[in-house]
Structure 1
Amino acid sequence: MSEKKSKAIRSILFIFPYPSGTAASQRFRFEQYLDFLPENGLQYQLAPFMDEETWKILYKPGNTWKKIKGIGKGFLRRIGLLFSVHKYDFVFIHREATPVGPPFIEWIIAKVFRKRIIFDFDDAIWLPNTSENNSIIAGIKWHQKTKSICQWAWKISAGNKYLADFAKSSRKADKSEEKSVIVNPTTIDTKNLHNRLKEQNTDSFVIGWTGTHSTIGYLESLLPVLKKLEEDYSFTFLVISDRKPDFNLKSLQYIPWTKATEANDLLRMNVGVMPLRDDQWSRGKCGFKALQYMSLGIPALASPVGVNADIIQHGTDGFLCSEPQEWIDCIKLLIHDVELRTTMGFIARQKIDKIYSVTGNQNNFICLFQTQN
């Protein structure tokens, strides 16, 4: 028997908020690595908090009692899950075990069952950032639990250095604890999903943005830029989201986001934008929009906030823009220069393949479950 086959199979329990295959955070943080686990001697079980019915209404106005009922059912599932935790070698917790209240599930797993917790997060979730549609739970969200989970976790998978620094500051100040905090970037599946390159053209120009209703407010800073450009240029401003924005723009085109057409819809863009405010929450973001654009050979224009400045090399594979005039100048340059768009897009795709793809980051992810450093 080979050495690989003789190794004992280890098991992982994945605990996460939303139904499998729904939320981008889950899909691009760990779900797209699941197929690699068995070949590395790892079997797994998935345990979402929320069911499909609750997920479909969660971010819609109203339906308060249905939301409360769905969250209540989720708590019952979590309590029931505790009876099987003893069977697993590792417990991978993405963001939190429950969306509200203190981290009692995490405490039981760490302190009672003494399981090795891998805690994964990709936003500054220790900061209040509750949607106005769910303000009912704002007071019981218990954001401070992030620090506690960092203290109890065996390893921490942080989406960028800013998040990793928070995790390290939450743990004991010794070298062994710091080494257990691993920067695990959000990645793109460049083989099965984002597996084509944009063919730039001269007959039209599309500036694009994709995201959820919770991030659409970042586009407000870009509206004066787009209105100024509309005075001299004919272009389309494409928004792909779960909700149509209320923008007074003659260039606006809206497409509802769907998982099935995600890549094809992105390929309508000639360039993609990612404006951000420079605040603590934005510094915790993992640059996912820019990564999506770049993976398809679409030049990204982004605010130089947080990890964006690491992902994009200004003038080579995209542009970093702070002031309105910088946005205008860079967009104008790309409108006129098809060859520049093509070259930038090609270089961007190469970077994604090397650093921010599933295959490029596979070993880094698998290392989360290695017991020897």
Structure 2
Amino acid sequence: MIRRINSVLRQASLVFAGSEALATYARQFNTSNTYVIPTSYERILDPTSNRTVEPITIGWIGNTGNMFFLDMIDEAMAAIQKQFINVRFSVMSGKAPEGLKTRWELVKWSKQAEDSWLRSIDIGLMPLKDDKWSQGKCAFKLLQYMAYGKPVVASAVGANHQAVIEGLSGFLATTTEQWKKSIEKLVSDPALRMTMGRKGLEHFLENYERQHVQKKIQISCMRTIQNTALDEKIDTRPYHKKDIAGSALNRFIRVV
């Protein structure tokens, strides 16, 4: 499978990578035609501002196979839960976490329930292990939180560095103490939650909103097709845009 992927990368006229780590890998096989195009998420028509009522809800969303990431921040979150009686922890997944000190309340995932759950939380979390697998991740959880105007705390790993504007839209954390201090600041300051949530939403709309990303893809595709047409001396004048440079387009389609 890996050999086949590498072969496709070598032959591709255009390669889109969702993170810098993935782009670095792809450029081993296709140096000049690899571009970082971030993962996107839909625009929310009525994103809610952070609530000022209690309890303050700290949330994590993900599949059960990634629930082990919560182990990494359990000590910090348990300390927060003990320190602040007005804080609750909510997880949206297939089952509740097991064997943790932190008490997480489960909301079972469904497409219908996802919207109301994202509106209900006040702070979004994305812990990651600093390994090659996580470095290739594309910060999708953060995009969900940001699209709803929520401040975030995330591991300083991979695409999280680009998704989080440190100190403005949220915090990046590595150590247990950093996780604890970041949450303390947000729990203790409703105005900070509001300000960071708004900044995160702005950052999302400018860089990750689906139509914005689709436009970047469109521009990259047309530029590559036109450049290839010139290299191959294909006369594009008689053709509609969708028919331009057929040989280049065919090579691109194989990758998409």
Shorter-chain TM-score: which interval? 0.7 to 0.9
TM-score (norm 2): 0.82
1:149 aligned residue:
8
Q: Secondary structure at the match of 2:125?
A: strand
For 1:250 and 1:222, how far apart are their aligned partners in 2?
A: 9
Alignment of 1:204-283 (within 5 A): 204-234=55-85, 235-249=87-101, 251-283=103-135
Task: Flag the 1:250–1:213 CA change in 2: closer, same or farther, 3 A.
Answer: closer
Q: Is the 8 A contact 1:160 1:185 kept in 2?
A: yes
For 1:223 and 1:291, how far apart are their aligned partners in 2?
A: 23
The alignment of Structure 1 onto Structure 2 pairs a total of residues equal to 224
Task: Please state how far the C-alpha of 1:167 moved relative to its aligned partner.
Answer: 0.8
Q: Which shifted more, 299-308 or 153-162?
A: 153-162
Q: Which runs of 4+ in 1 moved over 4 A?
A: none
2:25 aligned residue:
166
Q: Is the 8 A contact 1:202 1:338 kept in 2?
A: no
For 1:319 and 1:191, how far apart are their aligned partners in 2?
A: 23
1:319 aligns with 2:171: yes
CA root-mean-square deviation? 1.7
Structure 2: where are the runs of 5+ without partners? 228-256
1:201 aligned residue:
52
1:189 aligned residue:
42
TM-score (norm 1): 0.57
Q: Secondary structure at the match of 2:174?
A: coil
For 1:241 and 1:272, how far apart are their aligned partners in 2?
A: 14
1:46 aligned residue:
none
1:372 aligned residue:
226
For 1:278 and 1:284, how far apart are their aligned partners in 2?
A: 10
Task: Flag the 1:280–1:244 CA change in 2: closer, same or farther, 3 A.
Answer: same
For 2:146 and 2:158, how far apart are their aligned partners in 1?
A: 17
Amino acid at match of 1:359: Q
Task: Please state how far the C-alpha of 1:191 moved relative to its aligned partner.
Answer: 4.4
Identity percentage over the alignment?
29
Q: Secondary structure at the match of 2:40?
A: coil
Task: String of CA shifts for 1:106-128, please: whole Å, max 9, x gaps.
Answer: xxxxxxxxxxxxxxxxxxxxxxx
1:284 alignment partner, one of 128, 133, 136: 136
Amino acid at match of 1:146: I
Question: Which structure would you say has the larger RCO, counting Cα contacts within 8 Å and 6 or more residues apart?
Answer: 2
2:146 alignment partner, one of 274, 278, 294: 294
For 1:326 and 1:199, how far apart are their aligned partners in 2?
A: 22
Amino acid at match of 2:19: N
Q: Which shifted more, 342-351 or 238-247?
A: 238-247
Task: Please state how far the C-alpha of 1:144 moved relative to its aligned partner.
Answer: 4.0
For 2:11 and 2:94, how far apart are their aligned partners in 1?
A: 36
Q: Is the 8 A contact 1:157 1:368 kept in 2?
A: no
Task: String of CA shifts for 1:192-248, please: whole Å, max 9, x gaps.
Answer: 5xx412332232111100011221111111111122122221221111112332144
Q: Name the structure where helix makes up a greater proportion of residues.
A: 2
1:355 aligned residue:
207
For 1:191 and 1:221, how far apart are their aligned partners in 2?
A: 31
Amino acid at match of 2:58: I
Q: Which shifted more, 257-266 or 288-297?
A: 257-266
Amino acid at match of 1:288: F
